[in-house]
């Protein structure tokens, strides 16, 4: 084969390399965070959740997530975690922020977020994640479902180790507004013969998590502390009375409401977030 033909083939090969998509395996190794959607693992870039020190009023939960993440990153015993409680209390924000903080501190940790409506696809994800042993948090946000559906059985199988076992380096972090994930009244209505057995069976789903972290409606002082932290970060001033009026109009005091109020003040002041 002459030199001209070799050069042409090399150019064709280079062009094909540029057109070819980066393999999922390469993305798994390279990125810090991913989203699992329609059986496709997509890198989240940039992964830039809210700064961990801005999340106030949840110090015990923060410490628990940081310690569990360190253990998982080091290959030590680590728990699946259920984060439950009030809307807007910072459950999902804390998962992402603690993970980013650990990554910034040198922990080899990967975050994969999956929707609660696709639990039946997670065995395929497990097969993909099993190709390398990088410690992984599988994050399922805002989970809740009917006690009679298949989703509860899928989740129980994932936690207990079903036909497709969860890789040893993967742990589940699940958030839910309900302490037991399933609504109690649904569970109690499931069996007319022995309701107690039905309740125990369904509520035991939450017991499969090694850690259960509760998030409760914050006090007025905690809410104002959150507002103070957010507004200081954004470089705006706030009036406590106005901040409380904002929460009253929204019917809740939470980290989410505090952030929305700080965002409103930034907008009034013509500042970017």
Does the structure show a pLDDT above 90 at 57? no
Does the structure show a pLDDT above 70 at 180? no
**Mean pLDDT calculated for residue range 232-239:** 96
Question: Which one of 107-121, 170-184, 233-247 scores highest in mean pLDDT?
Answer: 233-247
- 5 conformational bin, left if phi > 0, alpha if psi -120 to 50, beta if neither: alpha
Q: Which two tokens stand for residue 52?
A: 């961990």
Q: What is the 3-state secondary structure (H, E, C) of 98-155?
A: HHHHHHHCCCCCEEEEECHHHHHHHHHHHHHHCCCCCCEEEEECCCCCCCCCCHHHHH
Centroid of chain to Cα 39: 18
**Average pLDDT of the chain, as a whole number:** 81
- Could you tell me if 209 and 118 are in contact, meaning their C-beta atoms sit under 8 angstroms apart? no
Tens digits of residue pLDDT in 98-125 = 999 999 999 999 999 998 777 888 888 9
Within 134-193, residue ranges assigned H as helices are 151-160, 184-188
- pLDDT at site 11: 62
- Bridge partners (DSSP) listed for residue 82: 174, 212
Tens digits of residue pLDDT in 62-87 = 999 999 999 999 999 999 999 998 88
Residue with tokens 């952030």: 259
CA distance linking residue 28 with residue 63, whole number of Å: 27
Helix axes 195-207, 151-160, angle to 10 degrees: 50
- Could you tell me if 137 and 173 are in contact, meaning their C-beta atoms sit under 8 angstroms apart? yes
pLDDT range class, residue 186, cuts 50, 70, 90: very low
CA distance linking residue 78 with residue 72, whole number of Å: 5
């Amino acid at each position: 084969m002459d030199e001209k033909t070799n050069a042409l083939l090399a150019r064709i090969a280079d062009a094909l390399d540029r057109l070819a998509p980066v393999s999922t395996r390469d993305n798994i190794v390279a990125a810090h965070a991913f989203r699992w959607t329609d059986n496709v693992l997509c890198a989240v870039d940039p992964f830039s959740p809210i700064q961990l020190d801005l999340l106030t009023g949840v110090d015990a939960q923060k410490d628990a997530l940081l310690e569990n993440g360190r253990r998982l990153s080091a290959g030590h015993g680590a728990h699946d975690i259920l984060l439950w409680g009030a809307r807007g209390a910072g459950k999902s924000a804390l998962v992402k922020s603690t993970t980013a903080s650990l990554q910034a501190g040198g922990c080899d940790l990967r975050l994969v977020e999956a929707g609660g409506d696709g639990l039946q696809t997670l065995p395929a994800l497990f097969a993909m994640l099993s190709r390398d042993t990088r410690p992984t948090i599988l994050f399922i946000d805002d989970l809740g479902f009917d006690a009679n559906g298949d989703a509860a059985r899928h989740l129980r199988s994932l936690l207990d180790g079903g036909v497709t076992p969860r890789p040893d380096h993967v742990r589940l972090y699940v958030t839910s507004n309900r302490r037991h994930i399933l609504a109690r009244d649904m569970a109690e209505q499931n069996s007319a013969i022995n309701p107690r057995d039905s309740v125990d069976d369904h509520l035991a789903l939450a017991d499969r998590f090694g850690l259960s972290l509760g998030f409760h409606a914050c006090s007025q002082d905690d809410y104002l502390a959150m507002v103070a932290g957010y507004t200081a970060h954004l470089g705006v001033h706030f009036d406590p009375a106005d901040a409380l009026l904002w929460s009253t109009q929204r019917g809740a005091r939470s980290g989410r409401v505090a952030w929305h109020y700080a965002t409103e003040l930034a907008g009034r002041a013509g500042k970017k977030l």
